[in-house]
Structure 1
Amino acid sequence: MNLVPDDEWDAFLAALKESLPVTFRVTGFRTHTFAIMHLIRERYFQPFESSTTIDKPKELNFSYRYPGSLAWQLNLSRNQLRSSPELQKLKEFLYEQTEHGNISRQEAVSMIPPLVLDIQPHHKILDMCAAPASKTAQIIECLHRDESNPIPSGFVIANDVDNKRCYTLVHQFKRLESPCFAIMNHDASNLPNLKTNDGNILFDRILCDVPCSGDGTLRKNPDLWKKWNPGHASSLQSIQLRIATRGIQLLAPGGLMVYSTCSMNPIENEAVVSQLLQTFQGQISLMNINDKLPGLRTIPGLKKQLHLEQCIRLLPHHQDTGAFFVALFRKIDKTLDSSLSIQEETSQKRSAEENVFNEDGANFKRARYHRENPFIFFEEKDIKRFWQDISEFFGVDSSFPADQLMTRIASDSGRNIYFVSDSLKEIVTLNQDLY
Structure 2
Amino acid sequence: MGKKRKANVWKKNTNKRNRDDPASSKNFPDRTEDALKQNENFETYYKAQKIVPEEEWDSLISHLKRSLPTSFRVTGTRIQAEDLVTQIKRDFIPFIQNIEFDGVTYEPPHEIPWYPDGLGWSFEVPKIALKKSVHLNKFHKFLVTESEIGNISRQEAVSMIPPLLLDVKPNHAVLDMCAAPGSKTSQIIEFIHADIKPDEIPNGIVVANDSNYKRACMLVHQTNRLHSPCLIVTNHNGERFPNLFKRNKDDNSEQFFFDRILADVPCSGDGTMRKNPAIWNTWNFKEAIHLHKIQEKILKRAVHLVKVGGRIVYSTCSLNPIENEAVVASALNHYKGALELVDVSDELKNLIRRPGLSSWKVFDRDGVESNTVKVEDSEIGDKPSAEKQDEKNETKTLYTSLYPPKNSSELHLDRCLRIYPHLQNTGGFFVAVLKKTSALDATHSVKKTVRKDIMNSAAESDKIEDGSSDVAEEDSESDTPLATGTLGSVPLRETEYDPEKPRIDPSLEENPYVFLNPNEGSLKSAIDFYKISPKLNTGGFLARAEKSVHRTVYFVSNSVKELLSEPNNKLRMVNTGVKMLAKPASRTPNCEFRLVSEGVPILLPFIGSDFVVDMDFGDFSTFLKLKNPRFDQLSPSLSEVVSKTEKQISLIVRYIPSVSEQEQDQKKPLVRAPIILPAWRGNDSLSIHIDKSELRSIIIRVLGVDADIGKSGFKMENNSRTSDKFLQEKKENKDI
Q: 1:251 to 1:11 in 2, by over 3 A?
A: same
Any idea what the Cα deviations from partners look like across 1:56-97, whole Å, max 9, x if unmatched?
Answer: 22211214xx11x21100122445446643311111111111
CA distance in 1, matches of 2:435, 2:340: 5
**Residue in structure 1 matched with residue 74 of structure 2 by the alignment:** 26
Q: 1:50 to 1:297 in 2, by over 3 A?
A: closer
Q: Is the aligned partner of 1:245 residue 2:383?
A: no
CA distance in 1, matches of 2:432, 2:542: 38
CA distance in 1, matches of 2:232, 2:441: 26
1:114 alignment partner AA: P
CA distance in 2, matches of 1:425, 1:129: 23
Counterparts of 1:109-148 in structure 2, within 5 Å, are: 109-148=158-197
**Residue in structure 1 matched with residue 261 of structure 2 by the alignment:** 206
State which drifts further: 320-329 or 78-87.
Answer: 78-87
Q: Is the aligned partner of 1:215 residue 2:270?
A: yes
1:23 alignment partner AA: S
Give how far 1:217 is off: 0.6
CA distance in 2, matches of 1:145, 1:324: 26
Please point out which of 438, 445, 456 is paired with 1:333.
438
Q: Is the aligned partner of 1:36 residue 2:68?
A: no
**Residue in structure 1 matched with residue 614 of structure 2 by the alignment:** none
1:224 alignment partner AA: I
**Residue in structure 1 matched with residue 542 of structure 2 by the alignment:** 406
CA distance in 2, matches of 1:217, 1:105: 16
**Residue in structure 2 matched with residue 181 of structure 1 by the alignment:** 231
Q: Is the aligned partner of 1:196 residue 2:239?
A: no
1:10 alignment partner AA: D
Q: 1:304 to 1:192 in 2, by over 3 A?
A: closer
**Residue in structure 2 matched with residue 158 of structure 1 by the alignment:** 208
Please point out which of 520, 523, 527 is paired with 1:387.
523
Give how far 1:227 is off: 1.4
Q: Which has the higher contact order (CA 8 A, sep 6+)?
A: 1
What residue ranges of structure 1 are gaps of 5+ in the alignment? 345-350
State which drifts further: 109-118 or 399-408.
Answer: 399-408
3-state SS of the aligned residue for 1:196?
strand
> Is the CA contact (8 Å cut-off) linking 2:263 and 2:298 kept in structure 1?
yes
CA distance in 2, matches of 1:237, 1:213: 10
**Residue in structure 1 matched with residue 343 of structure 2 by the alignment:** 288
Number of equivalences: 420
Q: 1:395 to 1:8 in 2, by over 3 A?
A: farther
> Is the CA contact (8 Å cut-off) linking 2:234 and 2:571 kept in structure 1?
no
Q: Is the aligned partner of 1:303 residue 2:358?
A: yes
CA distance in 1, matches of 2:292, 2:78: 40
Please point out which of 420, 423, 431 is paired with 1:315.
420
**Residue in structure 1 matched with residue 139 of structure 2 by the alignment:** 90
Please point out which of 442, 453, 463 is paired with 1:355.
463
Identity %: 41
Please point out which of 556, 560, 565 is paired with 1:420.
556
What residue ranges of structure 2 are gaps of 5+ in the alignment? 1-48, 249-253, 361-407, 450-458, 471-484, 486-505, 573-736
Please point out which of 107, 114, 119 is paired with 1:62.
114
Give how far 1:41 is off: 1.4
State which drifts further: 77-86 or 95-104.
Answer: 77-86
3-state SS of the aligned residue for 1:292?
coil
3-state SS of the aligned residue for 1:411?
coil
Give how far 1:176 is off: 0.1
> Is the CA contact (8 Å cut-off) linking 1:283 and 1:336 kept in structure 2?
no
Any idea what the Cα deviations from partners look like across 1:319-342, whole Å, max 9, x if unmatched?
Answer: 1110000001000112448x9989
Q: 1:77 to 1:323 in 2, by over 3 A?
A: farther
Any idea what the Cα deviations from partners look like across 1:284-306, whole Å, max 9, x if unmatched?
Answer: 01111221120011111113563
Give how far 1:388 is off: 4.1
> Is the CA contact (8 Å cut-off) linking 1:378 and 1:402 kept in structure 2?
no
> Is the CA contact (8 Å cut-off) linking 1:154 and 1:180 kept in structure 2?
yes
3-state SS of the aligned residue for 2:346?
helix
3-state SS of the aligned residue for 2:170?
coil
State which drifts further: 370-379 or 259-268.
Answer: 370-379
3-state SS of the aligned residue for 2:464?
strand
Please point out which of 276, 279, 284 is paired with 1:229.
284
CA distance in 2, matches of 1:424, 1:331: 24
CA distance in 2, matches of 1:270, 1:299: 13
Give how far 1:412 is off: 6.0
**Residue in structure 1 matched with residue 93 of structure 2 by the alignment:** 45
CA distance in 2, matches of 1:342, 1:393: 61
**Residue in structure 2 matched with residue 255 of structure 1 by the alignment:** 310
> Is the CA contact (8 Å cut-off) linking 2:516 and 2:523 kept in structure 1?
no
Give how far 1:401 is off: 2.0
TM-score, normalising length: structure 1:
0.89
CA distance in 2, matches of 1:83, 1:197: 61
Q: 1:122 to 1:38 in 2, by over 3 A?
A: same
Give how far 1:216 is off: 0.4
> Is the CA contact (8 Å cut-off) linking 2:242 and 2:570 kept in structure 1?
no
> Is the CA contact (8 Å cut-off) linking 1:407 and 1:413 kept in structure 2?
no
Q: Is the aligned partner of 1:371 residue 2:505?
A: no
**Residue in structure 1 matched with residue 40 of structure 2 by the alignment:** none
1:355 alignment partner AA: K
1:195 alignment partner AA: F
> Is the CA contact (8 Å cut-off) linking 1:234 and 1:267 kept in structure 2?
yes
Structure having the higher Rg: 2
Q: Name whichever structure is richer in helix by fraction.
A: 1
Give how far 1:191 is off: 1.0
2:79 alignment partner AA: T
1:320 alignment partner AA: N
**Residue in structure 1 matched with residue 31 of structure 2 by the alignment:** none
CA distance in 2, matches of 1:43, 1:373: 46
3-state SS of the aligned residue for 1:248?
helix
Q: 1:50 to 1:220 in 2, by over 3 A?
A: closer
Any idea what the Cα deviations from partners look like across 1:368-408, whole Å, max 9, x if unmatched?
Answer: 9741122100114xx54223443466564453222101011
CA distance in 2, matches of 1:23, 1:370: 36
Give how far 1:433 is off: 4.2
Give how far 1:224 is off: 1.2
Give how far 1:202 is off: 0.9
CA distance in 2, matches of 1:138, 1:309: 26
Give how far 1:413 is off: 4.4
Give how far 1:207 is off: 0.2
> Is the CA contact (8 Å cut-off) linking 1:202 and 1:252 kept in structure 2?
yes
Give how far 1:33 is off: 1.5
CA distance in 2, matches of 1:341, 1:279: 9
3-state SS of the aligned residue for 1:355?
coil
CA distance in 1, matches of 2:461, 2:232: 25
Q: 1:155 to 1:94 in 2, by over 3 A?
A: same
2:136 alignment partner AA: L
